[in-house]
Amino acid sequence: MKNNIKILLAAMALFLMSCEPIYIGGKIEDSGGGGLDHPFSTDVTVYDGRLASDSLADIVGRDPYIFWEQNQFPYFVKLTWDGPQVQVESNNERILCETQGAHVVIDLLTRDVAGVAIILQGQSNDASLKIYGRRNIKLEMNGVQLVSQRGPVINNQCKKRLFVHLNAQTVNTLEDAPIYTDDFYYLPGNDALSEDRKGCFFSEGHLVFSGRGVLRLKAKYRHGIASDATMYVRPGVTLVLDEAAKNAIHIKGDTGDDMGIHVAGGYIYAKTQADAGKCIKTDLHFMQSGGELCLNTTGHAMYESESEGLESDLADTSSPACIKADVNVHIKAGSLFCRSIGTGGKAINCDGTMLIEGGNIQAETNGADFVLIDSISGDTLSTYPHVLKADADLRVMGGQLNLAASLNSEKAAVLKSDACILVDGGNLYAYAGDDVLNAVDIHFRGGRSFLYSVNNDVLDADNQILLEDGLILANAANPFQSSMTAPLIRLDGARLLALSGSMTQLPDEESLQPFRIQRFDAHRGQHLALMQGDSCLMAYEMPFGLDDLVLLSSHPALTHDTRLFLGSSANITSSTQPWHGFYENPIWQGGRLVK
């Protein structure tokens, strides 16, 4: 096999030398309809009243840290608001309760009361609830509409779990104050400086959401839902965060639980218009194993530093993101929609590893690059509107991904990693103005990938590109760009159709699978077919037109006798629908032989 590959390599080298220069130029063929257009949108997806549709999947398990049903709450405090007043009912005299108008403080800490459920209902335009305690608490929302004129609407100072249960068919709305003032009641030794108040619904402890109701929040001061511990969302829950002065959801995370946010189900709609705002932000890990998320950011990237001057080690940029995790992102299942339209805005951004094993992900960015130049030192800080960005490895192991990077950017990639990008499963559609995939190493080991770049290379690696398995459709529509760029390109497997206007280098001679390179004129909508005798290995409808187009193709069954034909859909008979124009082993008849 290696001798055959070397023969093919020698033949390809002679072919390229006979077509001087090696950088094969060309022009876009207008008569063929030009290149593929992706329907970008600058419209923010508005909340349309959608509710969680997975309540039947909310099966009560045995974990007492997730399921309030595995805990005992024999005592209750019921709060019923009616405008400027609140009625308090309880079945335990040891529970301390303080009120001022419609503002309430429940103290379970002083007398160490355990097993308490707090029930909220009614409405008020000047109300709030603060909770002290050291045991798990159940917070039952039974149709409550509260606006605070002083600070957070709900402020939980208990570091244990707060089980937030949204009663079925209830709509609960919370809106905090744009400016926070001191509370009317503090425990001895506490004051406004010693107690965090980070958002409309703040909790020092873990948050676990359950039930079949709706919780809708508007965060006027900072964050919508905030916790200094973790957040878990069960199936059936509907969370709507229409407005956030900073982040819609901001969760610090807990190193003991090794988790920040886990969405196991439900429906979450979030939108933030803040510069550098995030729909979902965690200082640890983000995981989605079910449910639906619809996330939108419209703000722009900004410069943040604790000292002046770009030369400072503390200087940095902060960009908007639909999801931002300071460690890892893990998506196993569910549905995720992300749209970030501001300067430098990203769909998903993490400082660690991003792992996608399943789910349906639709994400796009539409902003320009953020570039800041110090007028004195000349130092530059920048951030770009990548779709999926990981500082460590980015792994696509499954799922359905429909991704598009902004055409308003000169450097936005669809998948961007400062380490390795691995594609080993799933269906990936990726459209970009610049590089589609950009990393130190790029490795394909499975799955199906349709990759399209308008103005740059499709695959760009600092070290190597390794193709071992899977289907790769790489389309570089710019006549002066290549489908793949790396110091080392190794082709050990895979079904590959790479179309471009330029071929800067050949796959390495140690590659284990044969390949062929051909040049021809083509236009958008034409079909090409690789024929092995009377059998068609694969056929493809070309998504752009180009004079002097270069086709790099490879297939496990490729030999010296493989021939390339051009034709149309009339030449193809297939029992299955094409995948982004690709046909697997169809019947091909006729067409024009490309020599």
Residue with tokens 């619809």: 294
pLDDT band at residue 37 using 50, 70 and 90 as cut-offs? confident
Question: Is residue 336 predicted with pLDDT exceeding 70?
Answer: yes
Question: Is residue 43 predicted with pLDDT exceeding 60?
Answer: yes
pLDDT band at residue 381 using 50, 70 and 90 as cut-offs? confident
Question: Is residue 19 predicted with pLDDT exceeding 60?
Answer: no
Q: Out of 36-40, 125-129, 508-512, pick the least confident.
A: 36-40
Number of continuous H segments (helices) and E segments (strands) in the chain: 1, 49
pLDDT band at residue 10 using 50, 70 and 90 as cut-offs? very low
pLDDT band at residue 20 using 50, 70 and 90 as cut-offs? very low
- Determine what percent of the chain is predicted with pLDDT higher than 90: 86
DSSP 31: G
CA 163 to chain centre: 27
pLDDT band at residue 506 using 50, 70 and 90 as cut-offs? confident
Q: Are 147 and 178 in contact (CB under 8 A)?
A: no
Report d(CA 348, CA 82) in Å as an integer.
Answer: 42
> What's the pLDDT score for residue 315?
56
pLDDT tens digits for 510-520?
999 999 999 99
- Determine what percent of the chain is predicted with pLDDT higher than 70: 92
> What's the pLDDT score for residue 305?
59
Query: Structure pTM?
Result: 0.92
Q: Out of 15-24, 194-203, 462-471, 547-556, pick the least confident.
A: 15-24
Report d(CA 485, CA 479) in Å as an integer.
Answer: 15
Q: Out of 22-26, 129-133, 255-259, pick the least confident.
A: 22-26
pLDDT band at residue 207 using 50, 70 and 90 as cut-offs? very high
Half-sphere exposure for 333 (CA within 13 Å, toward CB): 8
In SS3 terms, 356-414 reads as ECCCEEEEEECCCCEEEECCCCCCEEEECCCCEEECCCEEECCCEEEEECCCCCCCCCC
pLDDT band at residue 378 using 50, 70 and 90 as cut-offs? confident
pLDDT tens digits for 555-593?
999 999 999 999 999 999 998 899 999 999 999 999 999
